[in-house]
Amino acid sequence: MRFTTLGTGTISLSPGRSCAGYVLESPGVRLLIDCGSGITRRLAELAIDWQTITHVALSHFHIDHHGDLPTLVFAWKYGFLPPRNAPVEIIGPPGTQALLERLSAAYGEWLLVPGFPLSVREVTPADVVELPGHLKLRVHPVPHTPESVAYSFERVGRRIVYTGDTGPSDALAAWAHGCDLLVCECSLPREMGIAEHLTPEQCGELAAAAAPKHLALTHFYPPVENVDIRSIVGVRYAGPVTLAVDGWHFDFEDE
Ligand SMILES: [Zn+2]
Ligand SMILES: [Zn+2]
């Protein structure tokens, strides 16, 4: 299993960070998680086999998390020959189908009927989605927008949790507890903190409670990069911390 950070930025446009996007590659699965603006470019740049992405999972409906999705579907339709015929599944919280229908109304029918099987699966916290290769996907609600979820990906005893965009949540910390890799948003410095995002202090508290084996921080608005994120987090969480950049990856040895 390999988890790659494609986009570690936000809607505050940055020369070095694309909007949100990640890819999880495991046997039989190439899963894109969020697809903000700039992610199609990063897929090509990092030589990710974008033509064979099998699933896309959306954490919520802010455009910095899905702005490049229509571009990607159009690329699957017209971007290579012979055209794609393999199916793709788009996973997201309830409302994902309606979002795609609205986008399709704007862009054209091809978005939902691209010429290869495209299905939408809306997931709730009660669901355990079984993906190929014994990969299990689960979601947990997070305080950001009404539909926002965090994702858990589990395979052969290894577990990755991606918070998506979130504010502080004890329930999220408990749900993520003991995971191998916690990919956690770190949006704003303390003086700019809001209920819908995390500060480095709150990332440290979340990690202290969740006790992941490795913490990777992402989704940095430029002002948070002016503070010493690593020291602030380190006061609360003693484990290994990565301040992710676009193109960072984390490998799990397959048992
Ligand atoms: Zn965001
Ligand atoms: Zn958001």
Per-residue pLDDT of 188-200, as tens digits, reads 999 999 999 999 9
Angle at 200 between CA 196 and CA 203, to 5 degrees: 70
Structure-block tokens of residue 97: 């189908």
pLDDT at 253: 81
Q: Please, what sign has the CA dihedral across residues 56, 59, 61, 65?
A: negative
Expressed in angstroms and rounded, the spacing between residue 19 Cα and the centre of ligand 1 is 7
Q: How many Cα atoms within 13 Å fall on the side-chain side of residue 104? A: 14
What is the C-alpha separation between 22 and 5, in angstroms, rounded?
5
Which neighbouring-strand residues pair with 214?
181
Q: Which ligand is nearest to the CA of 20?
A: 1
- State the pLDDT confidence band at 255, using cuts at 50, 70 and 90: low
pLDDT above 60 (res 122): yes
Contact of 163 with 172, CB cutoff 8 Å? yes
Q: Which ligand is nearest to the CA of 196?
A: 2
Task: Give percent of the chain with pLDDT exceeding 70.
Answer: 99
Contact of 139 with 35, CB cutoff 8 Å? no
Expressed in angstroms and rounded, the spacing between residue 62 Cα and the centre of ligand 1 is 6
What is the C-alpha separation between 187 and 181, in angstroms, rounded?
19
- Give the containing element (helix H, strand E) for 207: helix 200-210
pLDDT above 60 (res 165): yes
Per-residue pLDDT of 34-80, as tens digits, reads 999 999 999 999 999 999 999 999 999 999 999 999 999 999 999 99
Q: What is the mean pLDDT of residues 171-199?
A: 98
Residue of 190, 175, 193, 173 lying closest to 237 (CA atoms) = 173
For residue 253, the one-letter residue type is: E
Burial category of 71 from C-beta neighbours within 10 Å (exposed 0-12, middle 13-18, buried 19 and up): middle
Q: Which three-class secondary structure state does DSSP give residue 249?
A: strand
Structure-block tokens of residue 186: 């770190």
Strands 149-155 and 135-141, bridge-based pairing: antiparallel
Structure-block tokens of residue 51: 């033509």
Expressed in angstroms and rounded, the spacing between residue 89 Cα and the centre of ligand 2 is 22
Expressed in angstroms and rounded, the spacing between residue 147 Cα and the centre of ligand 2 is 10
What does the mean pLDDT of the chain come to?
97
Residue of 242, 239, 228 lying closest to 199 (CA atoms) = 228
- Give the containing element (helix H, strand E) for 119: strand 118-122
Q: What is the mean pLDDT of residues 200-223?
A: 98
For residue 147, the one-letter residue type is: E
For residue 24, the one-letter residue type is: L
Expressed in angstroms and rounded, the spacing between residue 199 Cα and the centre of ligand 1 is 14
